[in-house]
Structure 1
Amino acid sequence: MLLQSLLRLSLRFSVGGMLLYSSAALAIQVCELNQQPVDQNNGSSTAGKTGIMRCKEKESGVLMREQELRNGKFVGLVRFYKDGKLATEYMENEKGNHDGIAREFAPNGQVLREDIYVNGQQTGISKSFHQNGKLRRATFYGDDTREQAYAEFNESGLLRALRCADKPVLSPVVNDATLCGFSKSPSRLEFFNEKAELRARGTYEAGKRMRFESMGDDGKTAQLEENTADRRTEQFFSREGVKRREIVSKLGGKTPVKERQQEFSDSGTLVSDKQWVDGDLRMEKVFYLNGQLRTVSEYTTSGKQRSVGIKSYYDSGTLASEETYLRAGGYQQQATGTHKSYNQQGKLVAETSYDERGRLKHERGWDEAGKLVRDDEVFEDGSRKAYAK
C-alpha cells in the first residue's frame, strides 16, 4: 500500500518528482517512525501511529524521504531528498491528493517552483524561479483550474512574455495591474530573450493586447498584430521588411473568425485576396505579378448546395474563361452549367455544357473570325453527334 501510494503521489507532482521516486524505489531503504523501525511494505507496522516517517538508503544512511502519518494514515507533509538534500515537498490530504503548497528545490536550497493545490487541483498563483533566485514565471489558475494569466522573465529580470486576465490576478508576485494596462493609461512594454535582446513591443489596455510587434535577430519587424474592439489585424514580414501576409479576423466570440487574408510577393505586390463571411469563404482573387487580376472565385451556398463561379483573365486584363462548379467538400468539385473560353481579343472561342451529374453533354467552338466550327452533342459513352461542321 505504501509503495502504491508514493507512486501515485509522485506521478501527480512533476517529472522531477517521478525521477526522484524512481531513484528512491530502486535503492534499498530503511525507515523509522518516532525513532522506532517500521516496514514500509507492511502497513501493520504503521497502523494507528502518528509522526514523521523517515527513510534512508540502507548502505549510505543518506536521507531519501520523509512522510507524515496521522493515526496510521499518510496525511500531511511529504518530502523527497536527492543526495541527502531536499528536492521536493508537498502536502497531501486523506484522499491522497495534493492539498496546499508544493515546492521544488535546487541542490543549494533555492526554490525552483512553488504551486498551490486544493484537493489535487492546481489553483491560485504558481511560481517558478531561475537558479539565481529571480522569478522565471508567475501563472494564475482560476477556480476552473485553467491558466488565466502569466508573466515570464529572463534571468536578468526583464520581461519575456505576458498574458493578461480580465482583471489583475498576479499580485503581489507581479504587478499585472500596471503591466496589463488596468490603470488610466495603456501600458507600453518591451520583451526580451534570455540574452537580454529586444524581441517584441506590446501595448496593453484593460487586460487586452491592443498592439504587438515581434522582431527578428536583425531587429526588423517580423510580425505585427493590432486589435480594436471587434477586429484583429495580423501582418507578417520577410527578412527584408516586405509585408508577405495580412489577416483580418472578427473578435467577440470564443475564438477569432477570419474575414480576410491577403498574400504578397517578395516585392510586396498583392498576389491573392480571400474574403470570408461568418466563417464561410465567399471570394478569392489571384493576381499576376504585374498587378492584373488572374482569377476571381465567388463561392455561394443555396440550402445544402455549395457552388463556385470562377473567372480567369489574361495578364492583359482580358477575360479568358468562365466556369461553374458544385463543391462536394474539401477540394472536390463537379463541373456544372456552361463553361466559356475567350481569346485574347475577348471573343468567344469555346463553350462546353455539363449535365446535373457533371458529365459533358455539349461542345461548341468558334474560329478567330467568330465562325462556328464545332457543335457536338456528347453522349455518356463518349460518342458524339455533330450539328455543324
Structure 2
Amino acid sequence: MTTLLPLPFFLGASAARAAQVCELNGQSVSPSNGSTTAGKTGLMRCKDTASGEIQREQQVQNGVFMGLVRFYEKGKLAREHSLNAKGNIQGRAREFSPTGQVLREAVYDDGQERGLVRSFYPGGQLRRATFYTGTGKDRAFVEFTERGQMAMLRCGETPVLAPVADDARLCGFVGGSSQVELFDARGTLRSRVSYASGKRVRSQEFYDNGKPSTLDETAGNRRTERSFSSEGIKRRETEWLLVERTAVRQREQEFSEKGVLVRDQRWTPAGDPIRDDSFHLNGQPRSRSVYSGAGSARMVEVTEFYDSGQRAASGRYLAPGRGRQVPVGTHQRFDEKGTLIAESSFDAQGRVTRERAWNESGELQRDDEVFEDGSRKAFTQ
C-alpha cells in the first residue's frame, strides 16, 4: 500500500509534473508511463520544457522508482527524500529555501514520520520540533519565535524533545514542577505554564498590557479556570471535578466589570444543578434557584427579589432535565413592601388553572378560573 506524502512534498510533486521532459541514461522516459522505465536502473532527470531548468531527479532501480528523489524550483533544490520499494518515504527528508537553508527535516519509517521533526526559519533558527511515535500522531512539540524565545510547548508522557529542548526540566519530570514562559513574535510575554511529570498544572495568559487574561490551575482532581478583564478584574471563575477522561463542572461564578459577584451556580459531582443564585450590583440577591429530588421528580424552587432584598416572587417547577422547567403548584408575586399582589395555580402539566390579584391594601380584586383554551370566569367554590 502506498502512503500519501506529507503536504509539502505532495504539493512539490504536483508542481514538478507540470510541462516537463525526462530522460534516463540518455533516453527519453515518462514517469507516468511505466513501459518507458521498465527494467531500467539509473537517475531520471526531468526539466521544464520552456526554460530547460531541472525540476526533478529520481532514482530508478530495475524499473521501480526507489531511492533518492529531488525536486527543484527555478533551478534550486527545494525538497529531497527517498522512497522504499513500496513507494513510501524512507529515511531522511528535507526542504530547503532558495538560499539552500534547511527549512524542514524529518526521518520517515515506511511513510510515517518518526522521532524529532524539525522546521526552521529562513535565517536558520529552529522554529518547531515535534516528536512522532511512528503512528502518524505527534506526541510532544516545542515552538520558538524568530528571536529564539519559546512560543509553545506540549509535553509528552516522558521526555522526548532533547536535544532541541530540555523537556525533562521544562515538563517537570525532574526537579519538581516547572515554570515556563512563552512569548509572541514581538517578544511580549503571553503565558506562564507549569508542568509536573508532563501534566500541565497551571497556565496563565496575558493581555498586551501585561495584565492576566486567564488563569487555569489543577490540584489533585480539581481544576479551576479564571478569566479577567484587561484591567485585571476577575470576570468568571469555574471549578471542575476531574473524573477519568472527563471534567464535570462543579461551580461557576460571574462578576461585573467592577468585580461584583452577579451569579453563582453549583452542581453535584454527577453534573446535576444544585443551586443558582444571581445578585443585583448593590450586592442584594436578584434570584435564587434551589434544586431537590431526582429523575422525573426533580424540582426547583425559584425566588426573585427586589434590589432592596425584599422578596418579589416565588414558585416551584418540575425540572426533569435538559433545562426544561414546568411550573407546578402555587406561584406568588409581592410588592416592594412584601404584600401579596398576585397568585397563579398550575396543574401537574404546567397549565395555569387559577389566577388571583390583590390591591396594595390586601383586598382581593380578581379571582379567575382559567381553562385550557385561555378563557376564564370568576372562580366559585
- Verify same fold: TM over 0.5: yes
Is the aligned partner of 1:291 residue 2:283?
yes
Within the alignment, does 1:98 sit opposite 2:89 as a pair? yes
1:83 aligned to which of 74, 80, 87: 74
Paired residue type of 2:304: S
1:12 to 5, 18, 31: 5
d(CA) in 2 for partners of 1:20 and 1:201? 39
Q: Which deviates the most, 263-272 or 88-97? A: 88-97
- Partners of 2:292 and 2:74 lie apart in 1 by 69
Q: 1:181 to 1:37 in 2, by over 3 A?
A: same
Secondary structure at the aligned position of 1:336 is classed as strand
1:201 paired with 2:182, answer no
**Structure 1 residues 32-181: aligned runs within 5 Å:** 32-181=23-172
Structural RMSD (CA): 2.6
User: Deviation string for 1:159-195 (max 9, x for gaps)?
Assistant: 1111112221112232100111211232222221112
Count of aligned residue pairs for this structure pair: 380
**Structure 2 residue aligned with 1:360:** 352
Q: TM-score, structure 1 length as denominator?
A: 0.88
| Residue identity opposite 1:85 in structure 2 | K
Would you say the 8 A contact 2:277–2:285 is kept in 1?
Answer: yes
Deviations 1:29-50 (A, max 9, x none): 1212234332334211111222
Q: 1:115 touches 1:125 (CA, 8 Å); kept in 2?
A: yes
Match of 2:372 among 374, 380, 383: 380
Write the distance in 1 (CA, Å) between the matches of 2:65 and 2:328. Answer: 74
Deviation at 1:106, TM superposition (A): 0.9
Report how far residue 147 of structure 1 moved: 2.5
1:253-332 aligned at under 5 Å gives the runs 253-277=244-268, 278-299=270-291, 302-304=294-296, 307-327=299-319
Partners of 2:47 and 2:209 in 1: CA distance:
55
Q: After superposing the two structures, state which structure 1 stretch, 183-192 or 93-102, moved more.
A: 93-102
In structure 2, relative to structure 1, the CA distance for the partners of 1:94 and 1:274 (3 Å cut) is farther
Any idea what the Cα deviations from partners look like across 1:56-94, whole Å, max 9, x if unmatched?
113332111122222212223222111111111223333
Distance 2:278 2:169 in 1: 45
How far 1:379 moved relative to its partner?
1.5
Contact 1:373 1:388 (C-alpha < 8 Å) held by counterparts: no
Is the 1:20–1:82 contact (alpha carbons within 8 Å) kept by the matching residues of 2?
Answer: no
CA contact under 8 A between 1:237 and 1:243: conserved in structure 2? yes
Over 3 Å counting, the alpha-carbon distance change for 1:297 and 1:362 in structure 2 is same
Pairing 1:337–2:316 present: no
Match for residue 24 of structure 1? 16
Unaligned runs of 5+ in 1: none
Paired amino acid for 2:379: Y
C-alpha distance in structure 2 between counterparts of 1:255 and 1:324, whole Å: 32
Q: 1:313: how far off?
A: 0.9
Separation of aligned partners in 2, 1:76 and 1:323:
78
Q: Secondary structure at the match of 2:336?
A: coil
Aligned to 1:223: 214
What amino acid does structure 1 have at the position aligned with 2:314? E
Quickly say closer, same or farther: Cα 1:329–1:228, change in 2 above 3 A: closer
Change (3 A) 1:55 1:216: same
* Residue identity in the other structure for 1:318: Q
Are the aligned partners of 2:295 and 2:320 in contact in 1 as well (CA < 8 Å)?
A: no
Measured after TM superposition, the shift of residue 354 of structure 1 is 1.6
**Residue ranges of structure 2 left out of the alignment (5+ in a row):** none
> How far apart are residue 327 of structure 1 and its match?
4.8
Q: Structure 1 pair 215/19, CA: closer, same or farther in 2 (3 Å)?
A: same
Give distance in 1, aligned partners of 2:68 and 2:175: 45
TM-score (norm 2): 0.90
Pair 229,34 (structure 1): closer, same or farther in 2 beyond 3 Å? farther
**Which amino acid in the other structure matches residue 350 of structure 2?**
G
Matches of 2:318 and 2:79 in 1, distance apart? 62
Find the aligned partners of 1:256 and 1:86 in 2 and give their Cα distance: 50
Q: 1:374 touches 1:388 (CA, 8 Å); kept in 2?
A: no
* Equivalent residue letter for 2:307: D
Letter in 1 for 2:87: G
SS at match of 1:168: coil
Q: Secondary structure at the match of 1:339?
A: strand
